[in-house]
Structure 1
């Protein structure tokens, strides 16, 4: 069950990060764009963590 939870959180963070990046670019706000990039990366890590948990059968 942890696999799906991590992957869902990861996808949500990636999506939110992409939105922040777009808004940051549109409003010429480099700080917001940077936050979006960081949030997208966190989402990618969470998604990868979920994939690893799935491969190992939630033993981690």
Structure 2
């Protein structure tokens, strides 16, 4: 699955990546849908808030 970043707040790690597409894994988080960037990082995963992106075709 892939998502495209459509917006971001100033504190998100992806604030400079609006418009970029990432391969992700979808997850139900505490505050709704979240996406984990793939490949997963053994030192800590990168999450994208579901409201800041849209799913796109592979």
The answer to whether the superposition gives a TM-score over 0.5 is no
User: Which structure has greater strand proportion?
Assistant: 2
Which of structures 1 and 2 has the bigger CA Rg? Answer: 1
| RCO higher in structure (CA 8 A, sep ≥6) | 1
TM-score by length of 2: 0.21
User: Which structure has greater helix proportion?
Assistant: 1
TM-score by length of 1: 0.21
